[in-house]
Amino acid sequence: MDLSCKSEYALLALLELSPHYASGEPLQIRQISSQQNIPDRYLEQLLATLRRAGLVKSQRGARGGYLLARDPWKISLYDVVSCIEGFDAQADVTKVPDTSEAVVIQDVWGEVRQAAEAILQKYTLQDLVDQRNAKQQVDIMYYI
Amino acid sequence: MDLSCKSEYALLALLELSPHYASGEPLQIRQISSQQNIPDRYLEQLLATLRRAGLVKSQRGARGGYLLARDPWKISLYDVVSCIEGFDAQADVTKVPDTSEAVVIQDVWGEVRQAAEAILQKYTLQDLVDQRNAKQQVDIMYYI
DNA sequence: AGTATACCCCGGTTCTCCACTGGGGTTTGC
DNA sequence: GCAAACCCCAGTGGAGAACCGGGGTATACT
């Protein structure tokens, strides 16, 4: 019941990209990884996954980097986590429960999954950026 | 985001034990494992964990077996899953998030965890037994 | 008493996945 | 043309999941 490193790294990277979306200037892996203490070669793989899922765009060559593919309020946390964790492709080998007890357990677990997904769907990258800004604002007020 | 075998096996076993709680007659590993298609030596380990957590009681020797330690409506699914998955002892190495972005992500994830736990807490073993019975009742009606 | 029946404990094994590293190749701006 | 970036693919080390097996111990029944 804990967030995997993969998803956390991916979210951190996208949160870094979010403020840069307006300018249209790409951000490099090195920048993100040093900013968020993420191993850069690992982050590269995650960004490749996000690109294949259509969440970010990449620009190759010198002065290249990554940009969000669409506005930060149009990307939900569910979009990110589901593509990184890859639980879209889980419909293939759904094991058939053999007893009636197994069925009710699966039902409850479905309810759990749905609740988790609902929360991830209601937050967008923009929401998190706003939350972070608000939190920093509070910190400044306490500092004064 | 999927239920582990361990937790599912444990829940199935406890659902088997629930109807026998009233009689006070213990149920053997072999019975449970054959009823629910669970490898018996593996189930043994899980029941040992449940026993150490105080959810079941064991009776050794001939005509021994396992019983629930308390009434089936006093055991929530959260009790079971948390002890099997062992996420009580997670408070020790809570990694300190280094950036403000990491903090907001952890906050959201905390919300997700809480929602999942709330659902697991609201269901008891008795609830699942009732659901199973209700479902079988419906099946019979369709059969007629 | 003796024996069969069950739990008990501990250890090993295979497999998969995660987190991470490394070696090249290709595109692009200056 | 060269350096800066992405791209792809491959491998590695560790951890945990899902088992299996052997030997020990308590208990009921005869």
Of A98, A70, A62, A93, which is closest to residue A14 (Cα–Cα)?
A70
pLDDT value, residue A99: 92
Tell me the sheet residues that pair with A124.
A76
| Interface contact B103-A37, CB threshold 8 A | no
Is the confidence at residue B42, as pLDDT, over 50?
Answer: yes
Residue B109: list chain A partners with CB under 8 A: 3
Domains of chain B: residue spans and CATH: 5-143 (1.10.10.10)
Place of tokens 């892996």: A29
Minimum Cα–Cα distance from A82: chain B residue = B1
Residue B90 has pLDDT above 80, yes or no: no
Name the nucleotide nearest B44; use CA and C1'. C7
What pLDDT was estimated at residue A92?
Answer: 47
CA A124 to C1' D5 (Å) is 29
CB–CB of B37 and A99 under 8 A?
A: yes
Q: Which two tokens stand for residue B112?
A: 């997700």
The span from the CA of A106 to the CA of B18, in Å, is: 18
DSSP state of A55: S
Q: Is the pLDDT of residue B94 over 70?
A: no
* Lowest-confidence region among A53-57, B27-31, B55-59, B91-95: B91-95
Closest CA to the C1' of D6: that residue is A60
Could you tell me the pLDDT band of residue B124, with boundaries at 50, 70 and 90? very high
> Would you state the pLDDT for residue A1?
78
Please list every residue in chain A whose beta carbon sits closer than 8 Å to the beta carbon of residue B98. 36-37
Contacts of B111 in chain A (CB under 8 A): 119
- What pLDDT tens digit does each residue of chain A (144 aa) get? 788 999 999 999 999 999 999 999 999 999 999 999 999 999 999 999 999 999 999 999 999 999 999 999 999 999 999 999 987 655 445 666 779 999 999 999 999 999 999 999 999 999 999 999 998 888 788 776
- List of residues 6+ apart from A67 with CB closer than 8 A: A17, A20, A21, A24, A25, A26, A27, A56, A57, A58, A59
Q: Average pLDDT, whole number, for chain B?
A: 92
Within 7 A of a protein CB, which nucleotides of strand D? 3-10, 17-22, 25-29
Distance A133 CA to D26 C1' (A): 64
Instruction: Give B138→chain A minimum CA distance, Å.
Output: 12
Q: Which nucleotide is nearest to B39 (CA to C1')?
A: D19
Contacts of A131 in chain B (CB under 8 A): 104, 107
Per the CB < 8 A criterion, the answer to whether B69 and B56 are in contact is: yes
Phi-psi region of B86 (alpha: psi -120 to 50; beta: other; left: phi over 0): left
Tell me the C-alpha distance between B129 and B127, whole Å.
Answer: 5
> Which SS3 state, helix, strand or coil, does residue A43 take?
helix
Mean pLDDT value of segment B118-129: 98
Give distance CA A42 / C1' C20 (Å).
6
Measured CA to CA in angstroms, residue A48 lies from A42, A53, A59, A65 at distances of 10, 9, 12, 12
In this predicted complex, what is the ipTM?
Answer: 0.91
